[in-house]
Amino acid sequence: MSIEIRNLSRQFGSFVALHNINLQVNPGELLALLGPSGSGKTTLLRIIAGLETADSGQVLFNQEDSTTKHVRDRHVGFVFQHYALFRNMTIFENVAFGLRVRPRKERPNTREINRRVTELLQLVQLDWLADRYPHQLSGGQRQRIALARALAVEPSVLLLDEPFGALDAKVRKELRAWLRKLHNDMHITSVFVTHDQEEALEVADRIVIMNRGRIEQIGTPDEVYEKPANPFVYEFLGHVNLFHGRVHHGQAWISGLKIDVPEHAAAEDLNAIAYVRPHDIEVSRAINGESALAVHVVHILSIGPVVRLELMYGDNPTQHTIHAAISKEHFRELQLVKGDQVFIKPRRLALFPNHDQEQLIY
Ligand SMILES: Nc1ncnc2c1ncn2[C@@H]1O[C@H](COP(=O)(O)OP(=O)(O)OP(=O)(O)O)[C@@H](O)[C@H]1O
């Protein structure tokens, strides 16, 4: 099932929650709606579900206009952050519920319901909990049951709103991998809302980055991370260092460093901001003939294969911190200790002319 959103807008009073959204979800795709709190993710998901109406625009399922279709007729399955399983029903009965309440002529017989529920419990790997009650399950187990329950009615589309939001970090990570695998096996067109960048990057086929009711960028995890469309996306996805400078005829001056930026050949003496990811900061003991910034090591965090360095640049009132991430191997070669002076330069940067940081909107 494909989903298409056309020119969709929604206001609450004078507040614009969604502004002219256009979006295509391909059949079998797992799409993440990612953005800060209040960016309109849940409103968009609820409009797709039919739980909320749009002021203008259309929602199409398999190219068929479904804008005015009742939620019941959209064949969507939901999983919410706090999915209320029925407390007085066993896990088995919770999963079976959606099938048992179907109108008589659409309802499968008891044997078929038993078969389907057992199969779903096996799919979420919790068939051994069938006779328990929700309060006897962990939060992660409950969310897996919520998913089994959503899948029981064989939805054409699965909508998940922060499904792992209430769980602790370790369980979240496990469930992410699990959801990815489940989706690979089932291929139901799925849209899930999250404000967790890592979650979206790890799980989704494509990510829609939203901000203030608009779409900032749509792309694969690799595209949005490696080629952010604008400063908002750059800052929102992952750690970055921000530098101020100027750009003129394909050359940028950033904190005293002269850097070639041929893609900005047409720029005429403009203010610019530049972003450098920590792993794109090259750290060396000596200058090597090229220009580089002299910085001091103020903190070393060495956990796992990557060593994170906190570096201080500039004199007292104008000091600012730069974060670098280097391999443990390189760290050993450099033999760094706190207080050392080192030289850094960006291996890669993203430059946005004509931008002051104040223009970034959250
Ligand atoms: N029923 C409503 N009445 C008034 N304002 C609303 C209503 N529903 C949502 N909003 C507003 O619309 C904006 C978008 O809300 P939405 O829940 O879609 O954001 P979100 O991106 O899902 O945020 P979060 O991550 O915090 O859930 C918010 O500013 C919210 O306050």
CATH code for position 192: 3.40.50.300
Q: Check whether 132 has a pLDDT greater than 50.
A: yes
Q: How far apart are CA 203 and CA 183, in angstroms?
A: 10
pLDDT digits (tens, 9 = 90+) for 19-44: 999 999 999 999 999 999 999 999 99
Dist. CA 18 → ligand 1 center (Å): 10
- The residue behind tokens 């999983």 is 79
Of the candidate ranges 81-85, 249-253, 264-268, the one whose mean pLDDT is the lowest: 81-85
Any ligand 1 atom below 6 A from CB of 37: yes
Output the CA 77–ligand 1 centroid distance in Å: 21
Torsion over CA: 66, 72, 77, 79 (sign): positive
- Atom 16, ligand 1: residue with shortest CA distance: 40
- pLDDT tens by residue, 97-108: 988 888 888 888
**What type of residue sits at position 19?**
H
> Could you tell me the maximum CA-CA distance found in the chain, to the nearest angstrom?
81
Residue (of 57, 37, 34) closest to 47 by Cα position: 57
How crowded is residue 131: how many other Cβ atoms within 10 Å of its Cβ?
10
> Cα of 155 to ligand 1 centre, how many Å?
26
**Nearest CA, atom 8, ligand 1:** 43
Q: By CB neighbour count within 10 A (0-12 exposed, 13-18 middle, 19+ buried), where does 230 fall?
A: middle
Sign of CA dihedral 113, 117, 120, 122: negative
Q: Which atom of ligand 1 is nearest to the CA of 13?
A: 4
CA of 92 to the centre of ligand 1 (A): 34
CB 314 within 8 A of CB 360: no
Q: Go through 316-345 and write b for each residue having 16 or more CB atoms within 10 A of its CB, e for each that does not.
A: eeeeeebbbbbeeeebeebebeeebebbbb
117 vs 144, 151, 153, 161, CA distance in Å?
13, 10, 10, 23
What string of H, E and C letters represents the secondary structure of 24-77? EECCCCEEEEECCCCCCHHHHHHHHHCCCCCCEEEEEECCEECCCCCHHHHCEE
The pLDDT of residue 289 = 67
- The CA 16 to ligand 1 mean position distance, Å, reads 10
Share of the chain above pLDDT 90, in %: 48
- 249 and 231 co-located in one domain: no
User: Same domain, yes or no, for 201 and 270?
Assistant: no
Domain stops at, among 219, 236, 253: 236
Ligand 1 centroid to Cα of residue 361, in Å, is 17
Q: Which token pair is 62?
A: 């398999």
Domain boundary among 236, 259, 275: 236
Residue 355's pLDDT is: 61
Ligand 1 proximity of 35 Cβ (cutoff 6 Å): yes
* Ligand 1 pocket check for 40: Cβ under 6 Å: yes
Nearest protein CA to atom 31 of ligand 1, as residue: 38
User: Residue 294's domain is classified under what CATH number?
Assistant: 2.40.50.100
Tell me, what's the pLDDT at 362? 32
Tell me, yes or no, whether 119 and 184 share the same domain.
yes
Q: Are residues 128 and 146 in the same domain?
A: yes
Q: Is 130 found in the same domain as 148?
A: yes
Residue nearest ligand 1's atom 30 by CA: 38
Burial of 96 (0-12, 13-18, 19+ CB in 10 A): buried
Co-location of 328 and 299 in the same domain: yes
Residue ending a domain, among 188, 205, 236, is 236
State the total domains in the chain.
2
Q: Is 211 in the pocket of ligand 1 (CB under 6 A)?
A: no
- Model pLDDT, residue 76: 87
Assess whether pLDDT exceeds 60 at residue 359.
no
Of 174 and 110, the structure prediction assigns the larger pLDDT to: 110
List, in sequence order, every residue forming a beta bridge with 327; answer none if it has no partner.
306
Whether residues 111 and 223 share a domain: the answer is yes
Range of the domain at 276: 241-359
Confirm or reject: Cβ of 116 under 6 Å from ligand 1: no
The CB of 128 under 6 Å from ligand 1? The reply is no
Q: Is 134 in the pocket of ligand 1 (CB under 6 A)?
A: no
CB atoms within 10 A of CB 65: 12
Do 219 and 271 have their domain in common?
A: no
| Whether pLDDT at 83 is above 70 | no
> Does ligand 1 come within 6 angstroms of the Cβ of 14?
no
Q: Verify that 85 and 185 share a domain, yes or no.
A: yes
For ligand 1, atom 1: residue with the closest CA:
12
pLDDT band at residue 361 under the 50/70/90 scheme: very low
Clarify whether residues 325 and 309 are in a common domain. Answer: yes
* 89 in the same domain as 202: yes
> 157 and 11, same structural domain?
yes
**For residue 70, how many other CB atoms are within 10 A of its CB?**
8
Rounded to whole angstroms, how far apart are CA atoms 240 and 122?
Answer: 42
Helices (H), the chain: 41-49, 91-100, 110-123, 139-152, 169-186, 197-203, 221-226, 231-236, 328-334
